[in-house]
């Protein structure tokens, strides 16, 4: 028997630093777990339209490639989900920050196909959804510290959704994907 997923209420502004408000603000009201599941399918459909030859495209010198952006989405969701897990499980250990600009070149996304990167992103999202479906309202309300700042498990779930929405917008607008 699975635990009934608690509705993941939109976090209050005191549950995250203002920087994350941009991501959270992109997410429409409603059932967040359903939105994340739909978003996963929408993202997979979008990435399936990108020709492999376009994977190394950068819209400006020094910017990430299409493949880098996809890899970044997976890395960031993994990290945010890990933080969410630790906080939801009442782990009070402060969680380290991460530097995305160090992760991207180290990931070597250019050595992979778009399809492989997209499949990894799908797997990461499936794991995130499984985690979220097993949490209750008390777990989502727990707070911890990440990157030296206070944050709630609930806020991390909303950040995951908003972060992907942000980068999908960038892929569409600056990379002409879709």
The DSSP code sequence of the chain is: -PPPPPP-PPPPGGGS-GGGHHHHHHSPSS-HHHHHHHHHHHHHHHHHTS-GGGTT--SSTTSPPHHHHHHHHHHHHHHHHHHHHHHHTT--SPBPP--HHHHHHHHTGGGS-HHHHHHHHHHHHHHHHHHHHT--HHHHH-EEEETTEEEEHHHHHHHHHHHHHHHHHHHHHTS---
**Residue 6: per-residue pLDDT:** 72
**Residue 2: per-residue pLDDT:** 46
Question: Has this prediction a pTM greater than 0.85?
Answer: yes
pLDDT along the chain (178 residues), means of 10: 69 98 97 98 98 97 98 98 98 96 97 98 98 97 98 98 98 96
Domains in the chain and their CATH numbers?
Answer: 31-173 (1.20.120.450)
């Amino acid at each position: 028997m699975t635990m009934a997923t608690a509705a993941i209420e939109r976090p209050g502004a005191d549950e995250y630093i203002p920087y994350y408000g941009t991501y959270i603000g992109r997410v429409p009201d409603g059932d967040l777990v359903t939105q994340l599941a739909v978003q996963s399918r929408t993202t997979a459909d979008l990435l399936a339209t990108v020709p492999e030859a376009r994977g190394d495209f950068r819209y400006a010198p020094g910017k990430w490639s299409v493949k880098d952006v996809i890899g970044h989405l997976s890395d960031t969701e993994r990290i945010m989900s890990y933080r969410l897990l630790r906080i939801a499980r009442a782990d009070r250990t402060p969680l380290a920050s991460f530097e995305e600009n160090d992760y991207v070149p180290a990931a070597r996304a250019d050595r992979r196909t778009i399809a492989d990167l997209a499949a990894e992103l799908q797997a990461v999202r499936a794991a995130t959804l499984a985690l979220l479906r097993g949490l209750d309202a008390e777990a989502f309300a727990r707070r911890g510290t990440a990157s030296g700042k206070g944050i709630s498990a609930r806020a991390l779930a909303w950040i995951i959704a908003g972060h992907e929405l942000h980068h999908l917008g960038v892929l569409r607008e600056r990379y002409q994907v879709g």
